Amino acid sequence: MTEKLTEKAICGHCKEPFDVEIYTSINTRVDPEMELKVLNYDVFEYTCPHCGEKVKVIYDMLYHMEQEGTMIYLTDPSNVEEEIKTLDEFYNNDFKKFQELMKIDPPRVRVVVDLVELREKILIFKGGYDDRIMELYKSLLILQINERENMEIIRMFYDIYENKPIIVVIDKNLKEYHYDFREEGYRELEEQFEDKLEGFERYVVNESFAIEFIEDLLNKKKN
C-alpha cells in the first residue's frame, strides 16, 4: 500500500522549518499515478511556506512495483549497510515463512541511494530488463568509450529520453553525453550470462556489482 506521514524539513534558502508530507511507501499497482510523480521527482519537491522557494527533500522510501515483483528501497548512503542487514533478516526469516506458506515467488529487492538511481531502476524494470545484465552492459560500454575517447567518466545510467532508451554518461566536467541503448547488445549479454547470474543476487546492484560478478567468474575459472 501507499503510506504517508508528516515530518519537519528545513528550507535551504531561509532556514525556516516547515511541515512536509512524505511517502514512506508507494505501491504502483494501488496508486499507478504515483509512478510519474516519482520519475519526475515531484514527490520530493516542496514549496517553502515562509519564503516561497522550491525545496527538494530526499527521504527514505519503499517503492513497490508489485506487478514486476520488485521492491526498491531508497535510503541515505550512510544507511546502506544497516538497511541491507535489516532487509536480510526480514526476507530470510519472517517473509520467507510467509512466502513458503502462501507459495509465492520471492520479490526482487534493491537498495538505491539517490533519485537518479531510483529512476534508473524503475525504468529498467518497467522495460523488462535485468539490472544485473544492464550493469554488465554499462561496464562494456565504459571499456568501448575508453578505447575511443579520452574521457573520465564519473557517472553512467540507463534512461529514457524523447521516448527512446539511452545510456547517459557524465564526465568529470559534468558534461552529459547520450549513447544509444543497443537492445541486441543487451540480449547478447543476457544470453551469455543469464544462467551464470542465477543465484548471484545482491541488494545493491551498481558498477561495483559488475566488478564483483566478473571477478567471481574469473576465480571460478581458475579453480
10-residue stretch averages of pLDDT, the chain, 223 residues long: 92 96 96 97 97 96 95 96 92 72 79 98 98 97 91 96 97 96 98 93 95 90 73
β-strand partners of 9 = 18
Report the C-alpha gap between 201 and 194 in whole angstroms.
12
Give the residue from 151, 182, 155 showing the smallest Cα distance to 168: 155
The DSSP output letter for 127 is T
The DSSP output letter for 92 is I
Contact in structure between 133 and 194 (CB atoms under 8 Å): yes
Q: What is the CA radius of gyration of the chain?
A: 19
pLDDT of residue 101: 66
Q: Which three cell numbers stand for residue 144?
A: 568501448
Strand order in the sheet with 176-180: 153-161, 164-171, 176-180
pLDDT of residue 91: 81
Q: What is the dihedral of CA 128, 80, 89, 133, to 10 degrees?
A: 30
The contacts of residue 77 (CB under 8 Å, 6+ apart) are: 113, 114
Q: What separation in angstroms does the CA of 70 have from each of 2, 82, 117, 163, 209?
A: 15, 20, 15, 23, 18
Report the C-alpha gap between 162 and 26 in whole angstroms.
26
Contact in structure between 74 and 118 (CB atoms under 8 Å): yes
Return the domain boundaries, the chain: 1-128, 129-223
Contact in structure between 179 and 151 (CB atoms under 8 Å): no
pLDDT of residue 149: 87
pTM, to two decimals: 0.92
pLDDT of residue 164: 97
Q: What separation in angstroms does the CA of 170 have from each of 103, 139, 142, 176, 181?
A: 44, 14, 11, 5, 16
